[in-house]
Amino acid sequence: MLSERLRARTADLTQQVGAALGKTGLSPNFFTVLGFVAVSLNAALIAFDFLRLAGVLLIFSLLLDALDGAVARATNQMSPFGAFLDSTLDRWAEVTLFFGMGVSLSHSGSPRDLALVYWAACGSLLVSYTRARAESIGIPCKEGLFTRFERMAVIVLGLLTEQLAPAVALIAVLATLTAIQRLWVVWQHRAVP
C-alpha cells in the first residue's frame, strides 16, 4: 500500500513534529477533533464550489489529521478510545467530503453524478468496515488496492483539477474492488486454524 510506504519514509519527521506538539500539552484527541473540523470546513468549501481552494486546504487538513497519532506516540498517550475516536472521525470526515461533493455535483442536475457520489461513499465505508470486521475476528486485513490514502489523493486531484465527477467515479469503482479484495483475503483465512 502506498500509505504504508509513505508512512515509513516520513516516520522520523512525523516523530519530531509529534514530540514538538506534545510539549504544548494538547492531547492527541484535540488534534483528532481539529483534523475533523478542518476537513468538514473543506467539505463546505466544496459544496459552495470553491474546489481549487478546497483542494489546497484539504492537503493541509489531511496533514493535520496525521498529527494525532504522532502526538499520542510521542507523549505515550495511546489509548483504545483515542484509536476509536480517530477511526470514527476519519469515517465521518470522509462522508462529509462526499456530502460536499454531492452538493457541488447536484448543481449540474445530473442524477448519474449523485448516484456515483452515493456509490463512492458506500464503497469507501465498506473498505473500512471490512478491515475493522476482519480484525475483530482476529484476521489482519490491511491489504487493499485503494485505501483511505489513495481515496483522499484522488479527491484532492479532483478538486485541484475541478474534475469531481471523474474522481468520484474512480473512487466508486476502486473502493468497491478494494472491499471485494478484502472479502477475498478474509475468505482465504477460513481454512487456517
Which residues are catalytic, by number? 90
Between CA 190 and CA 143 the distance in angstroms is 16
Binning the chain into helix, strand and coil, the percentages to the nearest 5 are: 80, 0, 20
DSSP 28-85: HHHHHHHHHHHHHHHHHHHHTT-HHHHHHHHHHHHHHHTHHHHHHHHTT---HHHHHH
At how many degrees (to 10) do helices 148-160 and 111-136 cross?
Answer: 160
Q: What angle do CA 174, 92, 154 make, to 5 degrees?
A: 35
Contacts of 187 (CB under 8 A, 6+ apart): none
- Residue reference for cell 484509536: 83
